[in-house]
Amino acid sequence: MKKAHEPTYSFVILTLVLIVVNTIIAWLCQFVLPGSISGISTLYFAVAFMILFTLWFGAYGAIAAYAGTLIGSGLLSTNPALHGGVAIYWAIAGLLQVLIPLVALRTFEVDLSLENRRDWVLLVLFGVLINNIVGAAWGAYTLALGNVIKSSEIGSVFYLWLIGNIIVTIIIVPLALRHFTPKVQKSKLFVKNYWD
């Protein structure tokens, strides 16, 4: 008998759709929002959707987060410094920003519909603060490593990246989880752990 959430071609299609959606959102963040750090939006709202997709669709969402960041903010960037090699390791920031809340919230068995204070606190700790600190540090450091910014700019890039991501994730992620998780959980595509 087939498991209810056994990975099938549906998850391949889901991953491809999420990659396209994440790519479009990441690309739009560069061109629609004012202010940028070397071509990267200071209010990178794509990260909030990448976190949501990963919390709802597990590792498939994480794969899409990396690919969407790589393509939308890296390879399709108008900043020639983000093409190629720099984009490959720089985009890991997006992956880190979604894997941290995924692992933590699954480990602590957080109810994604955020019905209690404990779940809210864990979400804010791992899905707004720690993940964005790590992502901003990785992103700023790798931009300097790739000579996109000067090493003297790492601190300012880190803080702009961190503050912008905290703003968008604290607003979008909890609201979307609270209102849409019950509907998403009824879907056959909802992933309770990492791959199932």
pLDDT at 1: 44
Q: Which of 40-54, 115-129, 158-172, 180-194 has the lowest mean pLDDT?
A: 40-54
- Does the residue 96 lie in any domain? yes
- Write the pLDDT tens digit of every residue in 133-157: 999 999 899 989 988 889 999 999 9
Q: Which residues contact 179 (CB under 8 A, 6 or more apart)?
A: none
Q: Is 34 a member of any domain?
A: yes
Residues 138 and 157: beta-carbon distance below 8 Å? no
Report the distance separating Cα 72 and Cα 113, nearest Å: 29
Distance, CA of 147 to CA of 182 (rounded, Å):
45
Q: Residue 34's domain spans which residues? A: 9-185
194 domain-assigned: no
Q: Is residue 142 part of a domain?
A: yes
Is residue 2, in this structure, part of any structural domain at all? no
* 18, containing H or E segment: helix 9-32
Q: Does 196 fall in a domain?
A: no
Query: Is 106 among the domain residues?
Result: yes
Give the CATH number for residue 70: 1.10.1760
4, part of any domain: no
Q: Residue 175: how many CB atoms within 10 A of its CB? A: 12
Q: How many domains does the chain have?
A: 1
